[in-house]
A and B are shown apart, each in its own frame.
Chain A
Amino acid sequence: MRVLIIDDEEDVRRIAVLSLVNVGKMEVIEAANGMDGVEKARDAQPDAILLDVMMPSMDGPATLAALREEESTRHIPVVFVTARAMSSELSRLRSLGAQGVLTKPFNAMTLPDDLRAILS
């Protein structure tokens, strides 16, 4: 399973990679911003995308919209990762067309399973 992580925080990104690779035995591609993420998604065609919501310039929802516009990335399931845990925020994010939402700080030991649960 190949997962693309789009997050501007390198530390967070690294922890997620460590978790998904080491605990989840997944293949992970990283992107530090939305633009880069859309490009990598198009090129690498991952099975899922973990998308940070709060990013400079192109934020999570904008990135999602871009992914949905592109023919080649439209079908890829997207899971938001957000530091805002309000329920209204979560439902707003879901309504944008993401498959699910994970909140920060996530449990690194369970992250791969949580992701799989959402995608199934």
Chain B
Amino acid sequence: MIEAVIPPDEERRLDVLRSYEVLDTAPEKEFDDITRLAALFCDVPIALVSLVDRHRQWFKSRFGLSAPETPRDIAFCSHAILGTAPLIVGDALQDERFHDNPLVAGDPLIRFYAGAPLSAPSGERIGTLCVIDRKPRALTAEQLEGLESLARHVVAYLELRRQSARLARMTRTLSESEDRFRLLSDAAPVGIYLATRDGQRVYANPAWGEISGQSSNLGLGLAWLDAIHPGDRARVVDAWKAAVDENRDFHAEFRFVLPDGTERYVVSRARRADAEHWVGASSDITQRRAVEVALAESEQQLRLVMQGSTDGYYDWNVATGRMQISGRGASMLGYEASEIVPHIDSWKDLMHPDDLPQVMRALDQHFEGRTENYESKYRLRTKQGNWKWILDRGKAVSRDADGKPLRVAGTHMDIDEKKRAEEMLDRFFSLSIEMLCVAGLDGYFKRVNPAFEKILGYSTAELLTRPFLDLVHPEDRESTIREMEKLGAGEMTLRFENRYLCADGSVRWIAWTASPYVEEGLIYAAGRDVTEAKLTAQTLAESEDRYRDLFENATDLIQSLTPDGKFLYVNRAWLQTLGYSKEEVGRLNMFDVVDPSCGEHFQRLLAGEKLNNVVTELRTKSGERRIVEGNVSCRFENGRAVSTRGIFRDITVSRSAEEELLRSHEALRARESAMRSIIASSLSGIVTLSRSGSIASVNAAAERILGYREEELLGRDVISLLPEPPADIPEFQRRSVDASLGRVTEWSVRRGDGRIITVELALFEFETAEGKQLAGNIQDVSERREVERMKREFIATVSHELRTPLTSIRGSLDLLKGGVFGQLPPGAEEAATIALRNTARLITLINDILDLERLDSGKLELHFGRADAGAMMLAAVEAVRAFAVQNDVRIDVQPSAETVRADADRIVQVLVNLLSNAVKFSAPGSAVRLDARQEDGEIIFRVEDHGRGIPHDYLQRIFDRFQQVESSDSRTKGGSGLGLAICKAIVEQHNGSIGVISEEGSGSVFWVRLPLDFKPATGVRIGLFSSSSDGSSLGRLLHREGHEVLLLQTWREVRAAGQEQSVMMLVVDLADDAEAGDLLSRLRSAQADRPIPIIVVAPSIDAIRSFDDNMTVFVPRGRERELLDAVRDFVQDRGRPDVLIVEDDFALLNVLQKRLAADELLVRVARTGGAAVAMARKAAPKLMVLDINLPDIDGFDVVSILHRDEKLRTMPLLVYTGRDLDAAERGRLTLGPTRFMTKAANGGHDFRDAVLEMLERS
């Protein structure tokens, strides 16, 4: 047997099933009819309405079966509810789901089953209508269709059943609530009724019956209308109809006439309940009515009494708030009594909100029993909307047991006029800027206005509590007391002045007017602060003088006229300009001076107009016309013109200034034309450029230099003159302008004839009306450059060629004089000596020329290091000592203790030169002095002699080449005339300066200043080539770092720059790795004898793979920092000897590094033999310091590997080891100059000395 599964919506299905409330109910005919019909129609013995509950199937109707239910797990219907279509089991024994089902095997022995599911409207299948047979069979299509249709009927019945059950429940609930309501209604003390639209009572509670006097029938139907007092009936009927028609509440007060004839006052209200019904309630108000009437009567009487009074009267029921106000009370405010709702709230509404709190306070006090009567003054709003003052007096006329007031009666009195008069006075009193007060004859103020506080600075309270005499200035007290006495005697005070002491310590003058009321003991006084007036009277006089002065001294012409044209006042400038005297002016009429055309102006002035910037003419006494410009106005008093005033400036002169300007324009034009002819005839080319770079003008020289005619050049882009146009023209322009402005730069230019020349360009900027313009002064320097180059070459060659014959001459003389071929006779010996001396001089001359040429071309290398100034001085003195002795000149030296960074040899050379000059020009027996001192980070060497000094004329050019004071000196003293020029060049390369102080006849002092901490200028000249647009930013970057950047546009320029002496480094930015190798190798081969560092900026390191020498460095594109570091490394390493220390002991390595730290050395370290070899190969050091015992390969191996490398074979080597080495070992450890040091035996200082010494030698 296979059990049916539980449907997925089981819980909901069960909920739906239960909602039918059909389970376990009694059989119902409707369902039984259906099962019977189904059994008949299908011709089967059994038909069931089976409802599938959680654990069972329960039969609502069963035909042919007695069991009321079976367990769900064996029910066929459990399977049938799983699908929407009927479940047909033809033969249960043949069906694996059912063949062993107890209902098949046993009672009722099912063989055939057909079940149509019962689907609720919401879709859940709650059971089946099924037919069962005890033998196998089938259903016809009609039978199956019939079964399904009947199943739908079952569901329809179930639905019907459920709805009628709900209805029944609702009805039950309704009737229950109705019962409750009726109970309530019956018990209510007010009449309650339900009426139809036409007023018929369909329900009424007993109270209603009673009220309407119809208790027998509760007043149903329309009977109640008959019970209404005939006088009220029509009104009530109309009110009912109106309420029903207009759908609003019914409200009426009327009388019922009771059967016994008495009248009953009733108030009745009704409200619409539904479309047909109105629910109403009625109360008996007969008693209340009676009280009201009684009250009204008594009030009527009172009112009649009060009517006669001008006061209003009121009666206020404190509990209800009702407040009857008399007609008079209302009419005070312009109302009819009926217009004011008789309630305390409407009274309060009329009250001024500011007064309300004070009224409430007064009321409270009275209510609490603290006042006998209640009284307050307040404002009420009249009907017209203004405020009226009322005096309200009242009294609680009845109180409850607790003493709480029940009723208050009182009067309203119109006090408006009185109050207003008071208020007005008060306002005057407080607003007055004069000090108003009421004072007592007792010496105290009784009342003061705020002006007192303001003027004297005391608070009102203080003023009222102090004797006012205290406040009077001590000097005025006596007179004040006298004045008080007069007042006390009934006299008035008029303008009595005394001084008061103010709170801030100042003193103010007060002038008083006062009148006494002796019988009241009061003084009414008004005081005025006259301090300012007293002061200004004096100041005014001064200021008048000042203004008159101002007018008098003004350079403008000032005049004042009466309306009839007489002069009231004119100032000094007016008199001077127009040539009149003061007396004459009095007799003048305005038109004697003012142009008659101004008559109209004058009328406008008198009409009140102000005229500004009027230009007119004034006539001088002598009849001359002055043009003036100025402003005029008129002064009015009480609407009448009193005087006109005018201020004019004489602009006659300004007019002629314009003419002056014209003249200067002409002068300017003349100057400009002069400039033009100068420019035109100038020998240097002058070109002006527009901002866009096109040529705006050229002079004749520029035409000649550039080889074009003017018309060919004008408007032409200046860049087109370059031999090769740059790739990015705007960028190039910008860079070039930045780089060239204000300097002299060199450019290659293609002339009109195609020849490429070198020009020097001085580019400058000038301002014109159209904005900034560029102008360049150009000079063709191709020839000059060529000549310079040739000269240098010539000198170098000649010097060399001179040395060769000198070698033989000197050698011969050496040998002769040295006696190699026998002792020379005395004359020959002397001749040989002279020849030798002059040979030496010639050699010096040649050496000097060579030195100077090298200094010029930058070929002279300086080796900077720490140099001991004292040692250099002594070395120099030592070098000239023999010469000094020979000339009988003493040299005094005071060695300095300073250390400088310098090329010691060169500085010694300078000092020697200066000393030998000094000796040369000193008289025998005199002394030369060399000293040095430190000053502001510099060391100053001085060489002082007492020779004959240098003529003033020569001082300026003594450091120039081939300059000697007198040509004859050259013969007598010997010398090339280049010495000082060399000194100057050397000193300047040290960033120092050299000079001389001399007085003819008394000697000279040559001085040399060197920076103590000299570092070679960090900026170098760098050639930059860029194939990408990054070039400009690289250029700017390098420029910012202080380098001079030479922008290279083509590879030809790069190659040329690579060979140029001044270019220290190349930065090459390559777009493509592929071309790099080829380009670089060509570049390198072109600069074979002077390789310079090349920094390659490229996408990847492949660019320089084949170029792994220590002069080429790769920097990935975009890493600006690395590029700058690389440049800096090269710049710093330039000329700095490098030492490679190979040592595996870390501690020792540190010590050795420290020993060398102070020196200008580049120290690199390797801690293994392998690293040492690799590093040496990458960049051959100037010196290698080598330990023998190393972790990988030992020192012997390192040496033997390096020995195989041609470049490294001659490298100087310092073997620094703890081992004792025998001769054979030493032989194996030799490269270039080699030295051995034992670690144990040598301290650090020896090590440093050895290193420095070896570096110096190499």
Contacts and interface: CB of A to CB of B under 8 A. Distances in A.
**Do these two chains interact?**
yes
Interface in A18-56: 18-19, 22-23, 54
Interface string A90-120: 0100110100000011111101000000000
Interface string B1217-1258: 000000000000000100000000000000000000000001
Contacts of A84: 800
B811 A16 contact: yes
A82 B850 CA distance: 14
A88 interface: yes
Interface in A57-114: 83-88, 91, 94-95, 97, 104-109, 111
Contacts of A14: 808
Contact of A85 (B806, B807, B847): B847
Q: Looking at A18, A83, A108, which has the most chain B CB atoms within 10 Å of its CB?
A: A108
Contacts of A105: 803, 806-807, 809-811, 839, 843
B841 interface: no
Q: Looking at A11, A85, A94, A105, which has the most chain B CB atoms within 10 Å of its CB?
A: A105
Interface string A2-24: 00000001011011101100110
A83 B808 CA distance: 12
Contacts, number: 80
Nearest to B800: A83
B837 to A, nearest CB: 14
B748 to A, nearest CB: 30
Interface in B773-817: 800, 803-812, 814-815
Contacts of B850: 85
A42 B1217 CA distance: 40
Nearest to A111: B811
A44 to B, nearest CB: 23
Q: Looking at A16, A18, A83, A86, which has the most chain B CB atoms within 10 Å of its CB?
A: A83
Nearest to B1211: A95
Given A22-B815, A109-B814, A91 B1258 contact: yes
B820 interface: yes
A67 to B, nearest CB: 15
Contacts of B843: 105
B374 to A, nearest CB: 125
B1210 A15 contact: no
B289 interface: no
Contacts of A19: 811, 814-815, 820
B1117 interface: no
B811 A18 contact: yes
Given A83-B800, A83-B803, A108 B814 contact: yes
A108 B847 contact: no
Contact of A109 (B818, B821, B1210, B1258): B818
Nearest to A15: B811
A14 B811 CA distance: 10
B811 A108 contact: yes
Contacts of A54: 800
B812 A97 contact: no
Nearest to A87: B861
Nearest to A22: B820
B800 A107 contact: no
B716 interface: no
B166 interface: no
Q: Looking at A16, A95, A107, which has the most chain B CB atoms within 10 Å of its CB?
A: A95
A83 B811 contact: no
A12 B808 contact: yes
Contacts of B859: 86, 88
Nearest to A88: B861
Given A11-B808, A85-B850, A88-B861, A104 B815 contact: no
A12 B811 CA distance: 8
A26 to B, nearest CB: 14
Contacts of B810: 105-108
B854 interface: yes
A23 B804 CA distance: 21
Contacts of A9: 804, 807-808
Contact of B815 (A12, A15, A83, A86): A15
- Top 6 nearest A-B pairs (CB, nearest first) are A15-B811, A11-B808, A108-B811, A108-B814, A105-B807, A83-B803
Interface of A: 9, 11-12, 14-16, 18-19, 22-23, 54, 83-88, 91, 94-95, 97, 104-109, 111
25 contacts: A9-B804, A9-B808, A12-B804, A12-B807, A14-B808, A15-B807, A18-B811, A19-B820, A22-B815, A54-B800, A83-B804, A85-B850, A86-B859, A87-B861, A88-B861, A94-B1210, A94-B1232, A97-B1210, A105-B803, A105-B810, A106-B807, A106-B811, A107-B814, A108-B810, A109-B820
Given A11-B808, A83-B800, A83-B803, 9 more contacts: A12-B808, A15-B811, A15-B812, A19-B814, A22-B821, A23-B818, A83-B807, A86-B859, A106-B811
